[in-house]
Amino acid sequence: MTQHIDIAVNLLSERLKHDIDSIIDDAAKQHVSPLIVIGSDLDESAEASAVCQQYPQQLFSTAGVHPHQASTWHAQSRQTLKQLAAQPSVVAIGECGLDYNRDFSPRPAQRQAFAEQLALACELNMPVLMHCRDAHQDFIAIVNEYRSALPKGLLHCFTGTKDELEACLNADLYIGITGWICDERRGQELAKLVPLIPNNRIMAETDSPYLLPRSMRPKPKSSKNLPQYLPYIVECMAALRQQTPDELAQHCYRNSCEFFGLNILPLMVDD
């Protein structure tokens, strides 16, 4: 049985939070379980941890402050995040990083919040799930400053260039790939790079509810991307890499378990 882990689900977004039971069940029917619930600020991270406790073995979460919310980082944020990270459902620090595409928070605030979260991940010996958009030079410089003490790092939703991919791989980062590769308008360059990611560094994700794969047929009636669509993304990735979907799925599943430190029970669902 081919199993999948969706490493990035924005389950507490307004588009998903009212349908958690059905989202989990529909994903499990496609052998996608568990789901990693993303925390994008301290309040959402606390809520994510609480939700995960209601769905043991089905949901795990991250705790962190996204660059969009970096301006909310303050003197007590590190201690609050440290307390959240101690919750048993929390398996990584993040989502943290830099986003110079939208600049919802000032760039100096983004860099400070990112660096402090990496420092905490080093202190706690926890993996970190990261975001980078149009900010590679500063991103990789900050990552490399902490990389020697950081146990594991993952750049999720990678959409960068070949040089940026090589720099991330040289920093021994894991790389998360989404349905961006299924977008004939924006995803062509990324599709060419997917075969360059080593088997032991690749992961698959939906970034639900965002980035619905445009090439899905029949096209879903809703524009919401859902964890149940992850096997389709893996199939597209596997075709680009000239692997079978099952082979790639095994690599992604193993990498995800190792990265997040998951010791999970076999998925049992009714086909």
Please report whether residue 268 resides in a domain: no
Tens digits of residue pLDDT in 122-161: 999 999 999 999 999 999 999 999 999 999 999 999 999 9
pTM of the model: 0.96
What H or E segment, with its residue span, contains residue 97?
Answer: strand 90-99
Please report whether residue 270 resides in a domain: no
Q: What are the residues whose beta carbons fall under 8 Å from the beta carbon of 95, sequence distance 6 or more?
A: 8, 38, 39, 40, 62, 64, 66, 129, 130, 131, 156
Q: CA 194, CA 184: separation in Å to the nearest integer?
A: 15
Please report whether residue 237 resides in a domain: yes
Please report whether residue 269 resides in a domain: no
Q: CA 82, CA 154: separation in Å to the nearest integer?
A: 19
How distant, in Å, are the alpha carbons of 101, 150, 237 from that of 135?
8, 20, 25
Phi, psi of 132 (to 5 degrees): -145, 125
- The confidence score (pLDDT) of residue 198 equals 98
Tens digits of residue pLDDT in 7-41: 999 999 999 999 999 999 999 999 999 999 999 99
Domain count, the chain: 1
Give me the half-sphere count of Cα atoms (radius 13 Å) on the Cβ side of residue 204.
33
Q: Which two tokens stand for residue 239?
A: 């075709």
Tens digits of residue pLDDT in 62-102: 999 999 999 999 999 999 999 999 999 999 999 999 999 99
Please report whether residue 271 resides in a domain: no
Q: What is the CATH number of the domain that holds 45?
A: 3.20.20.140
Please report whether residue 216 resides in a domain: yes
State which residues form the domain around 18.
4-260
